[in-house]
Structure 1
Amino acid sequence: MDFTFTDDERTFREAISRFLMTEAAPEALREIWETDSGRSPDLRNKIAEQGLMALSIPESAGGLEMGDVAWSLMTQELGYYGIPDSLADTAYVSAGLINALPDSVSDRQGWLEQIAEGSLRIAIGHPVNPLVADAHLADFTLLAHAGEIHAVPRALIDVEHNPSIDSSRRLCRVMWEPSSATRIADAATGQPLWDQALNRGALSVAGQLLGLAQRMLDLSVDYAAQRKQFGKPIGSFQAVKHHLADVAGKIEFAKPVLYRAAYSLQHGSADAALHASLAHTACGEAAHLAARHGIQVHGAMGYTWEVDLQMFMKRTWALESAWGDRTFHKARVSDAVLSDGAALGPGHLFGRS
């Protein structure tokens, strides 16, 4: 299997990185997070103007019609620059679910068009997530009830805010009553779509965690090159080098796992759920190690508000359990690997007959 990205895909990622580097500097994010909403309509509009909200929207609805592989690159940049995860919830997870709805859902096309232009904010509450990101700001929230899909307007839900260690996250516990007026898909149609949404959510979190890991490694390398002890940069000390090398190794081993999961989702592989869980686990471990070693390199000052490391470290801790915690995903991997007749070995893993 060839994991080499095309020139267009590499150019796409570089363009996203340059844009976010300018528009989402840590100083700007701190100012946004200290507001009551914790969100910037101006930044969101700029993101939409770049076409990032339209990434996976069909061309018929004004989108770019790119797939899960493109999102595996996009979410890494969202993680690297600390962009709130609810953007991916709307433009990737919710958009994918809405696009898969039957044509009989009259609002489907309009919703897709509004997502592409950035005028519609959708929150999504999967049963695996006890809390819903940005439900208090969303125009409506996609919620599950016994496999059904409900599109519940903001006026019909009560939200209870739940503080997070991560200043960028606005989490809510949602109280609502299912009804025929809000139901847009029955259980027979909805349950497979919720399963797909779970895999996309896990892939989204995995990509963000990998981007966070890379950002924390870069910050730690820069700090180790500048901070001196005994007249030498601490990066010259063997113990510090080993810490940073361990993180770099974890990141490199996690990348192909993420890309394999994205490929599986994009091509409807029967093992998509397994690969999504593997990606969530591998990328989570890389980010967790990057946070732990990053704080060791920075020392206690790494926890302080003024140091950028704490932004990405806290984001990692908050995201590790989003769209399924480590126990959930390891259980899915265990069920697949230990099942009778499990298709193991290179001949199966790489799709050869």
Structure 2
Amino acid sequence: MQFAFTEDQLAITQAAREMLVETCQPADLRRMLAAQAARDAARWQTIVDMGLLGLLAPDEAAGMGLAPVDLVGIAEAAGYVGLPEPLVETAGIGVPLLAALGDASRLAAAIAGESVAIGYPGRRFVADADTAGTLLLADGDALHLVDAKDVGLTRQESIDPFRRLFRVDWTPTEATRQTIGWGDTADRGAVMTAAQLIGIGQRAIDLAVAYAKERNQFGKPIGSYQAIKHLIATAQVAVEFARPVVYAAAAELPLDSVASRARISHAKIVAGEAADLATRTAVQVHGAMGITWEIDVHFFLKRALALRADWGTTAFHTARVLERIMTLPTGPDLTFSSDVARAA
């Protein structure tokens, strides 16, 4: 199988990436942090105007009717810039779930910029609940759709200052309970989180490279020393090896098989490992300055630490990979075969 993005997919991703890089620089993040702002209103409106929130919504709901693989590059770009706004969670998880529920009015509101917060089973706190119009919450394994006005929120501390977490107090009722379950929500969350982790890792490497070119010791840039080169190269290799796994997981997500779920878990594991290595390497390359908050790498280090534990622990995802290994054929032609994913 030859896997490559189409020209349309690349064009959408490139347009979104350019917008995010232009509007979400570390200086913008520092301004938001100083103002304790939940989001940048102008940037969020641009996201809405570009139609990014409706990429995975069906055509009949004024969406673009695309697949998760069409969003994965945008999720990676969101990670690359450390985007505070809930673009990925709303577009990649909330909108498809509202479409599955058949709630046309709420779906239209989400596409128009009213973000969706997800309280999936096992997620102790809900991200961005304070700016959401609709909350999709769990009572046991049951899915409930709840208005923002009907919940109480208590802010919780996060290692990532831009990850706004809340304990949500609410009362489940028959009126809020939905007839369908969570479906593939957990897998969508894992794939989109893995994509963000890849972006985070790449940004950390880029920051390390830029610093290594500028910082001089003993009369020459520290990037000219093999020790620094090897550190950064090792981190870049980890990101490059993880990236195609994440892309393949996004492409196979709709298959909903033992093999495709294992691919998703594999992606979440290796993306988390790559981001962890890249961000820690970037801190090390910056030397003593690297442990100070004034260095931009910390935005990405803290986001990586937060996301690596979200949408399934490493232990959970490792168990799913082991299940695939123990129950399906393996070998050079089978372990990573999409045909196995379709058949299993």
Q: The TM-score by the shorter chain falls in which range? A: over 0.9
Residues 1:124 and 2:118 aligned together: yes
Deviation at 1:54, TM superposition (A): 1.4
Partner of 1:180: 174
**Residues 264 and 271, structure 1, Cα contact 8 Å, conserved in 2:** no
Correspondent of 1:350 among 334, 337, 341:
337
Deviation at 1:147, TM superposition (A): 2.5
- Secondary structure of the corresponding residue to residue 144 of structure 1: strand
- Secondary structure of the corresponding residue to residue 44 of structure 2: helix
- Amino-acid identity (%): 38
Partner of 1:11: 11
**Residues 277 and 332, structure 1, Cα contact 8 Å, conserved in 2:** yes
Bigger shift: 298-307 or 92-101?
Answer: 298-307
CA spacing shift, 1:351–1:138, aligned 2, 3 Å: closer
The one-letter code matched in structure 1 to 2:124 is P
**Residues 212 and 285, structure 2, Cα contact 8 Å, conserved in 1:** yes
Q: Deviations over 1:159-192 (max 9, x none)?
A: 221111211110012222211121122xxx315x
In structure 2, C-alpha distance between the alignment counterparts of 1:116 and 1:57, rounded to whole Å: 8
Deviation at 1:6, TM superposition (A): 1.4
What TM-score results when the alignment is normalised by the length of structure 2? 0.93
Partner of 2:181: 190
Q: Deviations over 1:133-173 (max 9, x none)?
A: 01122112101223221011222222221111211110012
What TM-score results when the alignment is normalised by the length of structure 1? 0.91
Deviation at 1:215, TM superposition (A): 0.3
Partner of 1:65: 65
Q: Deviations over 1:186-212 (max 9, x none)?
A: xxx315x2xx00000001110000000
**Residues 121 and 140, structure 2, Cα contact 8 Å, conserved in 1:** no
**Residues 288 and 317, structure 1, Cα contact 8 Å, conserved in 2:** yes
Residues 1:319 and 2:303 aligned together: no
Partner of 2:108: 113
The one-letter code matched in structure 1 to 2:154 is E
Deviation at 1:325, TM superposition (A): 2.0
- Secondary structure of the corresponding residue to residue 131 of structure 2: coil
The one-letter code matched in structure 2 to 1:125 is G
- Secondary structure of the corresponding residue to residue 199 of structure 1: helix
Residues 1:244 and 2:232 aligned together: yes
In the alignment, structure 2 segments of 5+ residues that lack a partner are none
**Residues 48 and 117, structure 1, Cα contact 8 Å, conserved in 2:** yes
Report the count of equivalent residues: 339
CA spacing shift, 1:312–1:351, aligned 2, 3 Å: closer
- Secondary structure of the corresponding residue to residue 53 of structure 1: helix
The one-letter code matched in structure 1 to 2:261 is A
Partner of 2:263: 275
Deviation at 1:126, TM superposition (A): 0.8
In structure 2, C-alpha distance between the alignment counterparts of 1:332 and 1:350, rounded to whole Å: 17
**Residues 33 and 39, structure 1, Cα contact 8 Å, conserved in 2:** no
CA spacing shift, 1:114–1:155, aligned 2, 3 Å: closer
In structure 2, C-alpha distance between the alignment counterparts of 1:161 and 1:328, rounded to whole Å: 27
- Secondary structure of the corresponding residue to residue 166 of structure 2: strand
The one-letter code matched in structure 1 to 2:337 is F
Deviation at 1:85, TM superposition (A): 6.3
**Residues 95 and 111, structure 2, Cα contact 8 Å, conserved in 1:** no
Deviation at 1:219, TM superposition (A): 0.5
**Runs of 4+ more than 4 Å apart:** 267-270
- Secondary structure of the corresponding residue to residue 100 of structure 1: helix
CA spacing shift, 1:33–1:59, aligned 2, 3 Å: farther
In structure 1, C-alpha distance between the alignment counterparts of 2:260 and 2:339, rounded to whole Å: 17
Deviation at 1:234, TM superposition (A): 0.6
Bigger shift: 153-162 or 204-213?
Answer: 153-162
Partner of 1:156: 150
- Secondary structure of the corresponding residue to residue 141 of structure 1: strand
Deviation at 1:71, TM superposition (A): 1.5
Q: How do 1:98-109 and structure 2 match up within 5 A?
A: 98-101=98-101, 103=102, 108-109=103-104
- Secondary structure of the corresponding residue to residue 129 of structure 2: coil
Deviation at 1:351, TM superposition (A): 3.5
Deviation at 1:221, TM superposition (A): 0.6
In structure 1, C-alpha distance between the alignment counterparts of 2:275 and 2:7, rounded to whole Å: 28
**Residues 99 and 112, structure 1, Cα contact 8 Å, conserved in 2:** yes
